Amino acid sequence: MLIRLVPWFHCSELSDEKCRSLAQRCVEIGLALLLILSEVFSSNIQATLPTFSLLARLALTGGGILLLLVKCVALTRYETRWQWILLFAVLAYSGFVTVYGGDEWFVLAALLGMSAKDTDLRRLLRVYLAVAVICLLLVRLLHVFTTLIPFTYYCRNWDFGYGHYNGYGARILGIFFAWAWLRWARLRWFDWAGLAALALYTLTVPGCRGSGGTMLLLLVLFAAQRMLPRFFASKVYHILLLAVYPVITAFSVWISWWYDPVARNVPSLFQRLNSVLSGRFEVWHNVFWSAPISLFGGLPTDGDEHSAIDNMYLALPMNKGILGAVVVAAAFLILLWRLAKGRHTGELLCMTALLAYLFMENKPFLLSANPLVFLLPCVLFALPGKDLPVVCPPVPRKHKLFAV
């Protein structure tokens, strides 16, 4: 029985077809508004048009939140009371963490993920691709041909209009993920060519090794899966993938403590590896171990060299505390387990690449870098005996699931 929190306008008052259509529209428009916020009005245009950008950000954020809340509260049919409880628990917790830690994208990612329940994910991904590509091209054109998005040199490269070249690379990665995820089951030669070109562009033009390397890794995984479908449908791969999150977390904590170039005689191998990773070991040591970790966090993990830390596995306990790190880790592991149990190899391959990317960057909740937030209903609202709300079909049983 539905709890009618909005009795004068609830999904139960509409026909199923009208309800689904209206809910889909709300999510698509809300998604478009948040992508415009991230792609256009999170760029350097904030410096040249501060008042207009502030008003635009407020309108886009408020409009996106309102539409997604309407969809979640009034246009979604929840099968159990526990799903209602989970909805409001996630809203309350993500809102608190956003205010306490200053990460506005955390609550937006959670809200968008929850609103993806009972929607057509393929349509959402098409909207995502169209809006993201148009907005990214608009920013590039304004950056190159106008002074609205000024040229700024950052470190070893210019910032491509986003304050940092890795911010530009993250937005390209979001387009890459959406394209690859949408087309995984029927990749054609032009998909392979386009995705490979996008990866090479990201590696060579902005020089984003984290984003570009993740794209190449995903392409390698796609190719390997086609050559070894039995392995990627086996228990071995699934167990290895479930171990990735805790292993990377443990390694990140250990190497950030152990790698102290001042107090220790660091072996040359680790020095070279640190150099390849742009000095990340040293940054992790100086930032993570000098910050007091608490239950709720609240420490900044973006900004100057005293707080920026490009590793999600270390940034989570700093910004969201021990509780937040446990909650996010549990969500990742539950998602991976359910995808493995359902034999959804396409999503598992994308998640494998995402976990590798987050070892180098700190953008798990930035919508324009991570369309995989649409998989959140698999964690919160999955019911026994029902198919998961995913895009990629399950691997056929002829591949002898769970047997190598």
Is 206 a domain residue? yes
Give the pLDDT confidence score for residue 278 in this predicted structure: 82
Q: What is the pLDDT of residue 402?
A: 37
Model confidence at 53: pLDDT above 80: yes
pLDDT > 80? residue 304: no
The chain-wide mean pLDDT, for the chain, equals 90
The string of pLDDT tens digits covering residues 188-235 is: 999 999 999 999 999 999 999 999 999 999 999 999 999 999 999 999
Is 263 a domain residue?
no
CA 38 to each of CA 30, 64, 151, 162, 384: distance values in angstroms, whole numbers, following the listed order: 12, 12, 19, 10, 36
Exposure of 14 in the CB half-sphere (CA atoms within 13 A): 17
Residue 296 lies inside a defined structural domain of this protein: no
- pLDDT tens digits, one per residue of 138-187: 999 999 899 999 887 766 678 898 988 999 999 999 999 999 999 999 99
| Whether residue 264 has pLDDT greater than 80 | no
pLDDT of residue 366: 93
User: Quick check: is 3 in a domain?
Assistant: no
Domain ranges, residue 61: 11-248+318-399
Domain annotation covers residue 301: no
Q: Which two tokens stand for residue 192?
A: 């392979």
d(C-alpha 19, C-alpha 144), whole Å: 44
Residues 342-400 pLDDT 10s: 999 999 999 999 999 999 998 899 999 999 999 999 999 998 888 999 999 998 765 44
**Percent of the chain having pLDDT more than 70?**
93
Compute how many other C-beta atoms are within 10 angstroms of the C-beta atom of residue 398.
9
Min mean pLDDT across 247-251, 262-266, 371-375 is at 262-266
The verdict on residue 352 lying in a domain is yes
> Does residue 404 belong to any structural domain of this protein?
no
Token output for 254: 């250990």
- Number of structural domains found in the chain: 1
What letter represents residue 23's amino acid? Answer: A
pTM: 0.93
Q: Residue 44 CA to chain centroid, in angstroms?
A: 22
pLDDT at position 7 = 40
**Pick the residue with more confidence: 169 or 305?**
169
Residue 30 has pLDDT above 90, yes or no: yes
Cα 350 off chain centre by: 11
Would 281 be classed as within a structural domain?
A: no
What is the identity of the amino acid at 220?
V
CA–CA gap between residue 99 and residue 82 (Å, rounded): 26
Nearest one of 111, 83, 106 to 96, comparing CA atoms: 106
Residues 56 and 35: their CA atoms lie apart, in Å, by 12
pLDDT attached to residue 3:
39
Over the chain, what HEC string results?
Answer: CCCCCCCCCCHHHCCHHHHHHHHHHHHHHHHHHHHHHHHCCCCCHHHHCHHHHHHHHHHHHHHHHHHHHHHHHHCCCCCCHHHHHHHHHHHHHHHHHHHHHCCHHHHHHHHHHHHCCCCCHHHHHHHHHHHHHHHHHHHHHHHHHCCCCCCCEECCEECCCCCCHHHHHHHHHHHHHHHHHHHHHHCCHHHHHHHHHHHHHHHHCCCCHHHHHHHHHHHHHHHHHHHCHHHHCCHHHHHHHHHHHHHHHHHHHHHHHHCCCCCCCCCHHHHHHHHHCCCHHHHHHHHHCCCCCCCCCCCCCCCCCCCCCCCHHHHHHHHCHHHHHHHHHHHHHHHHHHHHHCCCHHHHHHHHHHHHHCCCCCCCCCHHHCHHHHHHHHHHCCCCCCCCCCCCCCCCHHHCCCCC
Q: What confidence tier does 271 reach under pLDDT thresholds 50, 70, 90?
A: confident
Higher model confidence: residue 402 or residue 132? 132
